Every structure is written in C-alpha cells, then in structure tokens.
Amino acid sequence: DDGSMTMMTPSPLEQQQEDEEMLVPHQELSTADAAQPMEVVAQTEPTNTAESQAPEDPQTSRFTWTIENFTRVSGKKHYSDVFVVGGFKWRVLIFPKGNNVDHLSMYLDVADSGNLPYGWSRYAQFSLAIVNQIHQKYTARKDTQHQFNARESDWGFTSFMPLSELYDPSRGYLVNDTVVVEAEVAVRKMIDYWTYDSKKETGYVGLKNQGATCYMNSLLQTLYHIPYFRKAVYHMPTTENDMPSGSIPLALQSLFYKLQYSDNSVATKELTKSFGWDTYDSFMQHDVQELNRVLCEKLEDKMKGTVVEGTIEQLFEGHHINYIECINVDYKSNRKESFYDLQLDVKGCRDVYASFDKYVEVERLEGDNKYQAEQHGLQDARKGVLFLDFPPVLQLQLKRFEYDYMRDTMVKINDRYEFPLQLDLDKDDGKYLTPDADRSIRNLYTLHSVLVHSGGVHGGHYYAFIRPTLSDQWYKFDDERVTKEDTKKALEEQYGGEEELPQVNPGFNNTPFKFTKYSNAYMLVYIRESDKEKIMCNVDEKDIAEHLRIRLKKEQEEKEHKKKEKAEAHLYTIIKVARDEDLKEQIGKNIYFDLVDHEKVRNFRIQKQLPFNSFK
C-alpha cells in the first residue's frame, strides 16, 4: 500500500528532521507495519558519532546528475546512474511527482543492495540538492546521515521541496526542461553503535531523544555541567508530595540526579511536561534562547525566599548602558539594562570580537535624525551601548538563523565565524566597558561549551561539545551518546564556512569541490577565569535532599524489578483453577460457556518448569 508513506510522514519519532518532513525510508510498506521502520530508526539513529571514531578522512565524492526532458520522465520513480564512493555503489532515486506527497521526493539508494552479503551495513553522511540554475545561492539542499542496511537500503527526504516551486520556471530549478541534482556523499567507518556504553567510555550519560525537542538536550547538558547551577537546583526546597511533571524544580532535580548517578541515558518527558512544552510545536515555535529564558525565569521565581535565592542572577546576569550623548551641548541620557545572554551577529563578522565591536558601535544621530534633547531641542548626538559588567557565566547566542525578506523565509547562515578558547573582553583598554565599570574585575573568559546545529533551516540535528571540568578533554553530548573529542572538533570544526575536500576519484569529477559545512555553533558558554573555582565546585550526594534520594532509588529499583520481570516473563505462565467452592458459588447464577466463569476464579503465576505435584 503506497499510501502508507504519507501517513507516516508527520510522526515526530524521527528526530533528524524537526519539521513535517520526517526522514523516512521510502519502501512501500503495508499500512499495518507502516510505523515499524520509524520506531527502529528512532532508537538506532546513529547520529554522527561515527566521525569522531574515524581517524582517517572519510571518502567523499560529489555526483552531478543532469536530467533532461524532466517533465517527460515517465514512471513514478526515476534512478540516476550508479556512482562509487568509499568502495560502495550508490545511486540517487527521485519521485518526480512526489512519493504520495505534493513535494519532490529524493533519496540516496544503495545500488547493489540485492547482491550484498547477509548482514551488510554501511554508514554515510550525505547531502542532496536541486541546483538553482539562475542563482546558485538559492540551490535547495538538505543533508543527513544514515546507517544503511538491507531493511533500509535507501534514505532521504519524502518532502524535499514543493512541486509548485520545482515546476515554476521562474524559480530557476527547472530550466529548458532540465533539472540538475547534486549528491555529496561521505562514507565513514562505523563503530559498533549498539554496544557503545557512554558511562563506561566517558563517565557521563546522555539524554534520550524524545523527538522534536531539538536544542533542549544540548542546553540541559550545558546547564547540568555548570556545577554551581546544579548545586543550586539540588538545594531548591521540594517535598516528597510534589509530582515531577507538575514541578519544574523537582523535575530538574530528578533529571540532574539521574545524569549524575544513572548508568544509562535519561528521559526528559517529566521535565518538558513541567514547563508546559510537551507538544511537538512548542519547540518549533521557539528557539534555544527562549527555552533558556523560560527555564531560568521559572527557576529564579521558585528560588525566591529560599537559601538559593539570586543564584540565576549571580551566575548569568550582566548589565549594559544604552547611552545618547549630545555633541554640541552638555546633555547625556543613560539607561541601564540587564541581560542573561547576548545575541551576537554572525553575518558580516569574522569572529566573536568583531561581533562585540558591532555591538558597541556608535551611531550618529544627525541631519533628519537629530535627537530631541529636552530643553536643548534637536541636537546632533552619538548613540550606543557599553557594558557596565559581565556575568561569571557568559552565554552568547550566535545569530545563525535570520529572516530573508527577498525569499520571505527563514534562512540559516553557514558563514565561517570563529570563536576563541580564551575570550578577553578587557581588550584594547576595555573598549567594551563604560567609563565607570569596575576595572578591578578581570574579564578573561574560558570556553565551557559549544552548542552545534547541523543541517538546514528546517530540522537538522543538535548536539553539544562541553568541557565539564574545563580540562583539555572535550566531550560530545549527542542525545543518548557521549564521546570523547579533541579540541579541534569542538572549535575549528564548528566555525562553519566551507572546506575543500581531498579528491578521491580524480577521473570522476576533476574540480576539487567545496563542501559547505552545515554543522556549526549557534550558542557559546564562557566562564570567567576569576570565578572558575567558585563555579566549578564539587557537587555530591550530600547536596541532594534525602526525600529525593529515596524517591529516585525507589524509582530505580522498580525499574530494575520490571526489567527483571520482563526478562523472565517467558519462564512463567498463568494457571486458572476453578475449585469446588467456585463451582458451588457460580453454577445456576449466570450463563457462560464453561462450567464456571474463568474471569472470576483464582489465578496462579507459576514457573513453566514447576512439576504439577509441587504446584498442588
């Protein structure tokens, strides 16, 4: 039944695409088992941890497929020629009129899957594109990664782009009845995904991906790894009568406790319920900055009147002064504002310092734009922002997503943007600071975490690089999975921009191609050197309320018990015994099929191996 595909599409299970176009294998599945691959996929999605394990460069290639007489292509499916990457044969599969959707559907397919040895599997990162033949920069491109195997020998996008856009000649995708498809494929060696144990390998555990929570897991890991913050959360007064799903403090305490002491990845459902973002849309309609603010404001509110009152401000709050000063008369207006995070421009800025330069840029108010300076009338003036103080934990939001008025849509800026391991905000004699800022505080910061988004403006994948102890060892927190990484991975590789890939098949495509890096940083967290000792404090069992420890131990034991029961279920069976008194009690009262109503007699759960004599 071909129609099953469209039914599957919106399922939020598949975490890689956050919008309506879930990534789905396109095989025509019967409706009954339509959701099956989705479920399997949701838990096995190999994220791009493989790259961290592969020291050798992946074998990469670009394949260009020019389809002439496009509107005359007959048949529902259309395959490209076979091309080889990483020693494997691939081809691109398109549905020119959509795979039961009003979008072009496009997949990467293992060309010889029918002839491969039993149990084969291979991992690839790839992007598929429809080239815009009028304006290169409007080329439609989506990228993802997948572990291909016999059951899922193709992978890609059921809703790649609306057919209305593709077939509109003014858009530039269909020119002279020709469409140009580009596939970039990088094949990587895959480590065994199933047996990897994050706790054993790194000492840390991940957070389960519960579909469509996007940036939340990265933010939670980042906050958890600010020990002072974690300690304050543990010290918030909660009682055993609270329910985690109705109490943010308790939900967060419980989540943090499990991150600290559990051996397996931790679920986030109670937490999302507690702050009311438990629908698929909540995350789509907000960004990480708003989630951060919602969490912090609610915590701040709940901390009032408790021993940890003011923690959020102490950690994250800084102040700047918005000023306007007249040039020809002595008149000045100042407004002090607080911030918990700063939004920095990426576009047109090469690095964090350039963004700060832009932040404090002086604007001239002159000509038609003079300033109304109370009793002085209209005056030429200078307007700008300077910082009064920076917080111990500095959160920088990088503006990677912006609205493009020409195209009336959100676009992602993949431009190269550098950020340092050490950030000195006192540089050039404190040019970012107001004259009356306290100069005895040294604003030298060290990088604590890098939150990364990989993919296009819709969907994509989120993960974080964090240094939990600020040592040289970085870790990548990618949902359930935590891996050790080197500094280059967390820094240079998240600057964005383009990289030239080495040639693999020189005869195959002679120009070395630039591969836009779709994975790049969208949020940075820095910790001030002088506050490091205080913030990276020790957090242990004694910081955790007794009732919390008991509750979580009990939860853990119940879970173990259920697991054990489940594991042993096949050893047991249920026997229903109708005794004499059951017969006496029931005969003649009601009408049923047997001598007695078996719903109402005694049940025994016994081991199948038990001899009948012992049972008697």
Residues labelled catalytic = 214, 461
The beta strands (E) that lie in 327-428 are given as: 332-339, 342-345, 363-365, 371-372, 378-379, 381-389, 393-399, 401-404, 409-412, 422-424
Q: How far apart are CA 550 and CA 246, in angstroms?
A: 19
How far is the C-alpha of 551 from the C-alpha of 572, rounded, in Å? 30
252: nearest Cα among 226, 281, 280, 282:
226
CA nearest to 291, candidates 109, 111, 522: 522
User: Residue holding tokens 């195959």?
Assistant: 508
SS (H, E, C) 19-72: CCCCECCCCCCCHHHCCHHHHHHHHHCCHHHHHHHCCCCCEEEEEEEEECCHHH
- For the stretch 271-291, what's the b/e string if a residue is b when 16 or more beta carbons lie within 10 angstroms of its beta carbon? bbbbbebeeeebbbebbbbeb
Three-state DSSP class for residue 185: strand
- The three-state secondary structure class of 128 is strand
Q: Cβ-count burial of 368 within 10 angstroms (0-12 exposed, 13-18 middle, 19+ buried)?
A: exposed
CA dist list (Å): 413 to 109, 370, 458, 495: 29, 34, 13, 11
H or E stretch at 356: helix 352-359
* Tally of residues, the chain: 616
The DSSP string of 242-309 is: --GGG-HHHHHHHHHHHHHH-SS-B--HHHHHHTT--SHHHHHTS-HHHHHHHHHHHHHHHHTTSTTT
Distance CA 616, CA 613 (A): 5
End-to-end Cα separation, the chain, in angstroms? 53
**Which helix H or strand E contains 566, and what residues bound it?**
helix 546-568
> To 10 degrees, the CA torsion angle through 428, 433, 437, 441?
-50
Residue 9 corresponds to which amino acid?
A: T
- Please classify residue 175 by burial: count the beta carbons closer than 10 Å to its beta carbon, then call 0-12 exposed, 13-18 middle and 19+ buried: middle
Kind of pairing, strands 393-399 and 342-345? parallel
Q: Report the relative pairing of strands 103-110 and 140-149 from DSSP bridges.
A: unpaired
Strand-pairing partners, residue 280, are none
Residue 572's alpha-carbon distances to 422, 514, 569, 616, in angstroms, are 61, 61, 6, 17
Tell me how far apart the alpha carbons of residues 245 and 392 are, in angstroms, rounded to a whole number. 31
